[in-house]
Structure 1
Amino acid sequence: MNIILIPGFWLTGGSWAPVTQALEAAGHTVHPLTLPGKGPGEDQAGVGLRTHIEAVIALVDSIDGDVAVVGHSGGGAVAYGVVDARPDRVARVVYVDSGPLADGGVINDELEVSGATLPLPVRSGFGEPELVDMTEEVWKRLEAIAVPEPAGVATEKQQLSDERRYDVPAVVITSTMPEPLLRQFMEGGHPYVAELARARAVRIVELPTGHWPQLTKPAELAAAVVDAVTD
Structure 2
Amino acid sequence: MNFVFVPGTNHGGWCWHPVGRRIRAAGHGVHALTLPGLAMGDDPSGLRLTDAIEYIVREVERRDLTDIVLVGHSFAGVPITGAAPRIARRLKHLAFFSAFIPRPGESMAAALGAETAAWMRATALETPAFTIDIDFETFRTRLMQDEPEQLQRLVFEQLTPQPAGYVLDALDDQPLTGLGVPVTYLLAERDIALAAPGTELAARLDVEPVIVPGTHEAMLTHPGDLADALLENVHA
Pairwise same-fold verdict (TM > 0.5): yes
Q: Which amino acid aligns with 1:67?
A: I
Q: In structure 2, what is the Cα distance between the partners aligned to 1:45 and 1:124? A: 24
Match 1:146 to one of 151, 159, 162: 159
Q: In structure 2, what is the Cα distance between the partners aligned to 1:199 and 1:97? A: 13
The answer to whether the 8 A contact 1:10-1:148 is kept is: yes
Deviation at 1:73, TM superposition (A): 0.5
The answer to whether the 8 A contact 2:65-2:90 is kept is: no
Give the unaligned 5+ runs of structure 1.
186-192
Q: In structure 2, what is the Cα distance between the partners aligned to 1:12 and 1:95? A: 17
Deviation at 1:24, TM superposition (A): 0.6
3-state SS, counterpart of residue 89 of structure 2: coil
| 1:157 aligned onto 2:157 | no
| 1:122 aligned onto 2:136 | yes
**CA RMSD, 1 decimal:** 2.3
After superposition, the Cα gap between the structure-2 partners of 1:46 and 1:164, relative to the gap in structure 1 and judged at 3 Å, is: same
Write out aligned runs for 1:1-231 (5 A).
Answer: 1-62=1-62, 63-108=64-109, 109=117, 110-111=119-120, 112-113=123-124, 114-115=126-127, 116-124=130-138, 130-160=143-173, 162=175, 164-175=177-188, 176=191, 182-183=198-199, 185=200, 193=201, 196-197=202-203, 199=205, 202-231=207-236
Report the TM-score, using the length of structure 2 for normalisation: 0.81
Deviation at 1:198, TM superposition (A): 5.4
Q: In structure 1, what is the Cα distance between the partners aligned to 2:14 and 2:131? A: 20
After superposition, the Cα gap between the structure-2 partners of 1:163 and 1:136, relative to the gap in structure 1 and judged at 3 Å, is: closer
Q: In structure 1, what is the Cα distance between the partners aligned to 2:159 and 2:198? A: 29
The answer to whether the 8 A contact 1:84-1:161 is kept is: no
Identical residues among aligned pairs (%): 26
Q: In structure 2, what is the Cα distance between the partners aligned to 1:182 and 1:161? A: 18
Q: Say how many residue pairs are matched.
A: 216
The answer to whether the 8 A contact 1:7-1:33 is kept is: yes
Deviation at 1:95, TM superposition (A): 0.8
Aligned to 1:189: none
3-state SS, counterpart of residue 206 of structure 1: strand
Q: Which amino acid aligns with 2:184?
A: V
After superposition, the Cα gap between the structure-2 partners of 1:135 and 1:54, relative to the gap in structure 1 and judged at 3 Å, is: same
Give the unaligned 5+ runs of structure 2.
110-116
Per-residue CA shift, 1:127-156, capped at 9, x if unaligned? 55x434422022111212111111111101
After superposition, the Cα gap between the structure-2 partners of 1:57 and 1:30, relative to the gap in structure 1 and judged at 3 Å, is: same
Q: In structure 2, what is the Cα distance between the partners aligned to 1:125 and 1:50? A: 27
Aligned to 2:114: none
The answer to whether the 8 A contact 1:84-1:164 is kept is: no
Q: In structure 2, what is the Cα distance between the partners aligned to 1:34 and 1:82? A: 15
Per-residue CA shift, 1:2-32, capped at 9, x if unaligned? 1110001111111112111111101111110
Q: Which amino acid aligns with 1:156?
A: D
3-state SS, counterpart of residue 69 of structure 1: strand
